[in-house]
Amino acid sequence: MIILEFKLKGKAQQYRVIDDMIRTAQFVRNKTLRYWIDNQGVKLVDLYKQCAIMAKEFEWAGKLNSMARQASAERAIFAIQRFFANCQAKKPGKKGYPQFKKHTRSVEYKTSGWALSADKRCLTFKDGFAAGKFKLIGSRDLHFYAPDEIKRVRVVRRADGYYAQFCINIERTEESISTGKLIGIDVGLNHFYTDSNGETVPNPRYLRKSEKALKRLQKRVSRKKKGSSNRKKAINKLGRKHLHVSRQRKDYAVKTALCVVKSSDFVAYEELQVKNMVKNHKLAKSISDAAWSQFAQWLQYFGKMYGKTVIAVGPQYTSQDCSACGNTVKKTLSTRTHICGCGAILDRDRNAAKNILAKGLKQAGINSNTVGHTEINAWGQNDLYSLVVTSTSKSTG
């Protein structure tokens, strides 16, 4: 499944209609959740039936396409299923009890209620709201995909306009070139990441760089009268700035992950619990600005696309254990150099990256010390033995 995004170009009146569509989708989602709360033990199938009942009870809800109403109900159903799954798994802490939404920003259609023009440059909504025809602005071409491959169309409202996302049911694969390189990656705040070969990638800190501008825009919002048009304009400018920072962060994570996957045949990285780490109020802003979760997601995505092996390993003791002898060397966060009694002296992050690589190889069923007995062909091109020997000889040399 891939997602192609285009900006919608239309008239101001059409955008107001999209706002009505989004509010209706939010209503259907919240109404479905309310029915589940008021009728404990109701089957999830009965929640789908509420879509048709709402269409008869509320005339304006009936304007939304039937499949779009089902997609909105599915959002509540997925939240309910996730809550039950967390309860059954005995997840520690909050289980994620479904909540009502107040600021929904999207509406989702399935295979009906919309149509593409013959040249696939325009999108028309054909349900009761009759939002009309929008021009699609983007660099991607929908001509490469058959109409039946487009399973969903999602309309998203952002600070800088309205966008259409096409969910296309195909598997994206790319030809890969074997590099014979195996690396472990340790993400951090001083550097975006440090690999097991000692190479570092700088941390851009986009939020920190834009902090002064964000504070200035936030002050402008607070000085405007509530409910005034000037306040709405100030809020929009603030939202655009936040959107710009988030796009910078995502772009950096995507390009860095792509570079890592294309340049390596085996990648091991830390599977960090970022949600727990941001509870540290002293580091929460820096951790959020680093976008470790996005980076990990794109590593996995590009790994599948290029047929490379990408493994997430637990971060336990990767910073404390010595990568040379395995002994534990206690360190505080301020200690940036790993010094062990065995004579190993190296950067703290590189030591962690070496441990992460060793864990990843072990998790993949490979012993770097006895790789001569391994004949696993992980990439369908080269014998894994030669890859591991090349990597370990370079790192120990």
How many other β-carbons are positioned within 10 Å of the β-carbon of residue 243?
A: 13
What's the pLDDT score for residue 374? 34
Q: Which two tokens stand for residue 361?
A: 């190889």
Provide the CB-side half-sphere exposure for 397 (13 A, CA).
Answer: 6
φ/ψ of 363, rounded to 5, equals -65, -30
According to DSSP, the residues that pair with 134 across neighbouring strands are: 123
Residue 7 in contact with residue 138, Cβ under 8 Å? Answer: yes
| Complete DSSP assignment for 95-125 | -------S---EEEE-SSSEEE-TTS-EEEE
Q: Which two tokens stand for residue 99?
A: 């909540």
Taking only the tens place, the pLDDT of each residue in 220-256 is 999 999 989 999 999 999 999 999 999 999 999 999 9
Residue 101 in contact with residue 29, Cβ under 8 Å? Answer: yes
Q: 27: closest CA among 2, 64, 1, 56?
A: 64
What's the pLDDT score for residue 362? 86
Looking at residue 299, what DSSP letter applies? H
Residue 290, SS3? helix
Taking only the tens place, the pLDDT of each residue in 374-386 is 333 333 333 343 3
Mind listing the pLDDT tens digit of every residue in the chain (397 residues)? 889 999 999 999 999 999 999 999 999 999 999 999 998 888 888 898 889 999 999 999 999 999 999 999 999 999 999 999 999 988 888 888 999 999 999 999 998 999 999 989 999 999 899 899 999 999 888 888 888 899 999 999 999 999 999 999 888 888 888 888 899 999 988 899 998 888 899 999 999 999 999 999 999 999 999 989 999 999 999 999 999 999 999 999 999 999 999 999 899 998 888 888 888 888 888 888 888 999 999 999 999 999 899 999 988 888 888 888 878 888 787 787 878 878 788 888 888 889 899 888 888 776 655 433 333 333 333 334 334 433 433 443 4
- C-alpha to C-alpha distance for 148 and 286, rounded to whole angstroms: 44
Residue 345, SS3? strand
**Alpha helix segments (H runs only) across the chain:** 12-38, 44-57, 59-62, 66-88, 206-209, 211-223, 229-263, 274-277, 284-290, 292-306, 348-363, 384-396
- Sorted by where each begins, the domain ranges of the chain are 2-168, 182-204+259-396
Q: Which two tokens stand for residue 391?
A: 């990597």
- C-alpha to C-alpha distance for 168 and 151, rounded to whole angstroms: 6
